[in-house]
Structure 1
Amino acid sequence: MRALFALTACATLALAAPVAAKDYGQHGALFVVTEPDLLMSIQSRLKRLEADGSLERMNREMAERTERKVRRPDPVAGMTKAQSLRSWTYDPAIVIDKDIKDTAGNIIVKAGQRANPLDFIQVRQALVFIDGDDREQLRWALASYTAENAKIIMVKGAPLDAMTAHQRQFFFDQGGYLVDRFGIRAVPAIVTQAGKVMKVREGTVKDLSR
């Protein structure tokens, strides 16, 4: 009983003891945190640009840059003019990483199987790659191929201007995707189907005319 009383008394004294507090002073500068409304700042900036005509000028310059890029895309990097004949084949077959099913859910190609798109389609048009700024290459392509048997693809030049001048559709290999795929490094070059592979020929106009 005495032990219980002693424990209770100690607890009471502990709770009743004053808590010591100490002022450690101020350390460093204090700033008021202010956070401007981002949307209002943007709107204010746009109003100033609109008022002095800067916004209209920026829009016009952007439209002009976009039109220039469309009319004359960036040339495919690393392309040169062919000096000699070079030929090889490109195999488009790939290994499927997962099952391919038809609309009914039936597996038509199993994962791990080697599939060749040329087993299912036929490439009827030749792909003719040229430098659209090279008049000799452009004249040769137009004289040698019709719109029905070939697609003329530029790696440099102005395809829209060529369409207007020659009343024929031209294409442009944006970013060099196709020439990289086929391994083409010089133009003119021709890609045609040869059975289950694509045959690629790269050479001078004279070489490719034979």
Structure 2
Amino acid sequence: MRFPRLCVLFVAVLGLTPLTRAENLGTIGPTYPIAEKSLLEVIMARLRAKEASGELKKLEQEARDRAAFAVNNPKPVSGLRRAEAPRTFYFDPSFTLQTNVVDERGAVLFPAGTRKNPLEVVSLSKHLLFFDARDPRQVARARELIDHYQGKVKPILVGGSYMDLMKRWNKQVFYDQDGTLVRKFGITAVPAIVSQEGQRLRIDEVPAK
């Protein structure tokens, strides 16, 4: 077999001999034990020090306060202004299917290109009222509209604390995260109220008094 010869050649190339073995070369210089603390020990020591001083408890409370504030005060929707003059316009919620809708057996129920209006199937049960709770005038106007429609209104904030308003009104208040709805409807000023009118939505931007 050529394998042993190749092994010998490989050993020779590396400058080794079959008699190569480990050898004690002695102590080259003084040696010292590793004195550096582990990173975990350093972190734990700092945490214990902060806990003893009360700083850790303070940091924890600050973190809880920041989290609570972020939940209670979501980021306001940008690009909106306060309504200064009444404006009415309409929104058609119809959409066109981009792909076939099939059942569990693959049979086509609605082919691509079919145009549908959700209001043909389900009606808008409540008015949608968008306003900024940071503006006392808008809050007062929103309260008037809710009373006018005998409570059949879903309040939706675009700014301010919905938690504070729920406590004051004892009524559920929603928030338009990232302005998804106002941008979909084309609302640029608030307060604005959305109502169903036939097979389309009527949108009234209502000035705050």
Q: Same fold (TM over 0.5)?
A: yes
In 1, are the aligned partners of 2:83 and 2:206 still within 8 Å (CA)?
A: yes
Distance 1:193 1:45 in 2: 64
State TM-score, norm by structure 2: 0.69
In 1, are the aligned partners of 2:84 and 2:208 still within 8 Å (CA)?
A: no
Residue number in structure 1 paired with 2:81: 80
SS of residue matched to 1:205: coil
SS of residue matched to 1:144: helix
- Cα shift at 1:116: 1.7
C-alpha distance 50-115 of structure 1, shift in aligned 2 (>3 A): farther
Residue pairs, 1:1-210, within 5 angstroms = 43-44=40-41, 47-51=44-48, 52-53=50-51, 56-102=57-103, 107-145=108-146, 148-205=151-208
State TM-score, norm by structure 1: 0.69
C-alpha distance 69-45 of structure 1, shift in aligned 2 (>3 A): farther
Gaps of 5+ in 1: 1-18, 22-39
Gaps of 5+ in 2: 1-12, 16-37
- Cα shift at 1:45: 6.4
The one-letter code matched in structure 2 to 1:167 is N
User: 1:139-172, CA deviations, whole angstroms, 9 ceiling, x for partnerless residues?
Assistant: 2222332575110111111111111112111111
SS of residue matched to 1:191: strand
C-alpha distance 132-104 of structure 1, shift in aligned 2 (>3 A): farther
In 2, are the aligned partners of 1:189 and 1:202 still within 8 Å (CA)?
A: yes
Count, aligned residues: 170
